[in-house]
Structure 1
Amino acid sequence: MISADDALLTTLQQSAGPEHVLWHAPSAEAAVELLLGGHCGILIADMQVVRSDSAALFERLQTQFPELVMLATGRRDEEGAVAGLISKGSVYRFLHKPVSPARANLFLATATRRCHELSQTGSSPALASVKQLAEPANRIPVIGGIAAAVLLAVALTVYFTRSDEPAAPSASPVATAPTAPTSAQPARSTTELLENARQAFDAGRLSAPPNDNALDLYRSVLAIEADNATAQTGVQDVLDALELQVMQALQARNAPNAARALSVLQSADPTHPEIAPLREQLLALSRSARPEPVVAKPAEQRKASPTRTTPNTDLARTRLAAGRLIEPADDSALFHLRAARDAKEDESANRILATDLGARLLAQARASIAISDAAQARQAYAAAVAIDREFELALPDLVEVGGELDDLSAASAQAASSRAVVELLAPVIRLRETGQLIRPVGNNAFDSLQQVASQYPNAAEVRAEQQRLAFTLIDNARTAFAARELEQAELLLGRAEELVPRMSSTRSLRDQIAAAKEERAAASRVLQAADLPRKREAAPIYPPDAQRKGTEGWVDIEFTIGMDGTTQELVVREAQPAGVFDKAAIDALRKWRFEPVIRNGAAVNQRAVLRMRFALD
């Protein structure tokens, strides 16, 4: 990930979860390497950094990577810069800032499904080289764009199945934040979603079944376009229809149906302004309930029957209104409902009150889930489950809240694991930042990170640090290679490959190291200069003293043939007689010119040896 927005990076990392590999590229070259290496399927560009060059960046990347799912994120006023690309389909979605974890989850789920669709086409586009992307013609700042991009490598067979964070209640039902669909379906356009929502509404599928009802479909549109007027109106129409069902049941004096309909409305919008008045009407209906009339007996057989009283039911209703749901144990709504049941008081009224009690406990559980209080959520949910079984209620939201609680528990466990990983990684990061990459043994970044990875092999934080350390090792390997420290460069590169295998940059650098080692070995071999083509020779000047004395002999000289064919670094290896002809031989050889030695298509320095003889005619 490369972005200047720390909050965005954190939110995306949290939303990606352990099922998805999230890559952080610290440089443009690294980002291109990830794309070329096939590590990434989704790219999110931060408009705050891309700025005016965003359109050119997206168009070039689409040309080079046709299967790449490209998205953008930024403020609402920045969306216009890529509006045309969104209309063409080049940019798949635009995520408005600020981003909540729930909205990021839905956003990534949609992008993942799109990436999965593209992967099924089987196309194999030709990929550009690193140089082509890193140094584009007309200097379109692809490097800057890539440096502003968030790269997410997503495991395409695994995708999100639900939103991990429930939407926070709002003052208006229309503005209620949507939640992500719970089944992985191909991404649909807002037009298709609106049409499906209308059909569901006409068919009476207002809030069930999940993901195929009018309310969920309209809210899915709002997850894509928060200000979509048609979807906002549709949500309000659904809530009005649910309210009407409660009112019709009340008018028909059908208390059980009214209780169920009210529970559905409360689940759809806990802040609906009519919930409290409708509940009062439902309670009033339960109070007025009377036993079925019986046929009158003859006057002489008639006896005065006592007036029916419901003291326990009345106490349960009072405690419920006061919010004393299950505590204290001997004076709560639950305690008095049990007493009313045992006393065989008004069964219909008791069932309505039990349903209301269960709904309130589920609402408490949801409120605790919203603030990530797992302990309180579990306590309230367990009480609701017990009441549902005891009074045989079949509460409509029981399964859904249970799923939300499971998600919270999983997220809490993941967060605890993440904190432990972060603590273990702290010394690894310090060692990396201080340059202790592979030495000293047992106290270096590489060894320490391998130990953490053995405990948490799938942790996103570990994978991110593995990538950061791998790029640092590669950078140091390049430095060692430039200094001709080939063995050190090879060692550093090997460690990087252990952390992130199959990176094209490591393969390229390894080839360069191998070629340099071969060149070094070849250069260290001393060739016979007599066998090499020469452009010019110069005869040595016979030393006068040796000529007068009639002395003859030879000199073996080792030297370097430079890339321009000149003789350099001349050294006398052996001479006979010693010291007599050395200077004359060296002075002559300095004037020689050879054809440059060519290796792998380029001139190289080459050591050679030549025996220069001195003889009198």
Structure 2
Amino acid sequence: MANAQHTRSHGGSDEVNLEIDDTQSLKQLDEGHHPPILVLSRDASLVETVKKAAPRGAPVNTAPDLDQVADKLPTLKPGVLVVDTASTSDVAGMVAQLTQHFPELVVVVAGKREDSAGLMQLTAAGRIFRFLLTPLSHGQTRLALEAAVTQHKDLAAQGQRLSAGTGGTSDGKNYVVTYGALAGGLLVIIAGIWFGISYFTGDKVEPPPAVATTEPTAGLPDKPDPVKAELALAQEAFAQGKYLEPANESALDLYRSALALDPNNAEALAGIRAVTDKVLERAEAALLAERIEEAIVSIERARDIDAQHPRLAFLDTQIARERERLKLSQAQEVGNRVAALLSQAGERMRTGRLIAPANSNARDALLEARRLDPTNPAVAQSIRELAGELTEQARQLVAQNKLDEAQAYVSAARQL
């Protein structure tokens, strides 16, 4: 890339005027170096993800937009361009302009989910190599960049083969036009010979087959399918047990990302159902261990993922039964505890421990029994009996002129 100029047209649109010199880039590829990666984005998180996901040894350069870096392109010589849709108002126009001047530049576009339809069309048309949904995930970005670097190397090697056919010219420019002219001339000569033979002999001679005038594209890989890429990442996450976490890299999020690109994709739908199965397996395990609250959380999480899952109704019934069993069990435990407290209160009343000693008297036992089962008739009857005992004891103390002690029994009776 020998020269680069950035100009602004009268209409206000940006144009990049660049000429290509791939000698240095091909030299780097021959030495096994990764091509530089250029990122156009103002999103610090996106830039950081690309830097971490870039192939080892690949230099990563960044700029907020094309205006800031256009005059530096001859020095940077990027092989892969990562464009944030937020950095330009016309992704298609910018990509078309750059790839016209840099045919070996491989473009990856990062955009929001609402941009996916337009980006998918650009991918299908071959205008961009791949697109990623923001926020970027490390694994997804890593695979995309590795594929983009490989694509750039293949394109560079293809261009090098074409240039080698010219005898190794010093400027390294592509002479596809010259090859086309030679092939066209060859067709004219063959057609003339055929016409002469058929005219003078009178024999019908089949015309020769057409000769292709363009260099075959064998060796260049097909453009990756973004849906298949998402599905591959989802399957990898599922195999590692990353069903719901981490965010944007879990099997669930990746299957949903594939489904956003292809709403009727059967594999993505089956993957989401498989994730739901795993969540419900956790719920069943928690139920068997009598961890009912944990089971309820898993069931509700599964319902959020796939509300039509056939196992939800069965597990809802199991939860209802388990709750009822726990209520009965708790009621039984309460009944046993109340019965024990009534027995203690009766024993303490018979031995005169009505309000003393603390935590070991009849009044404390009956108050605890009433707290556990406020409507229990046996508890109410025992409290009435204790109130009567306290009143009688207070009368006896008054008769003995022990007014302070009598007041304590009166107060205890009133508290009941």
Give TM-score, length-normalised by structure 2. Answer: 0.35
More helix by share: 2
> TM-score, normalized by length of structure 1?
0.26
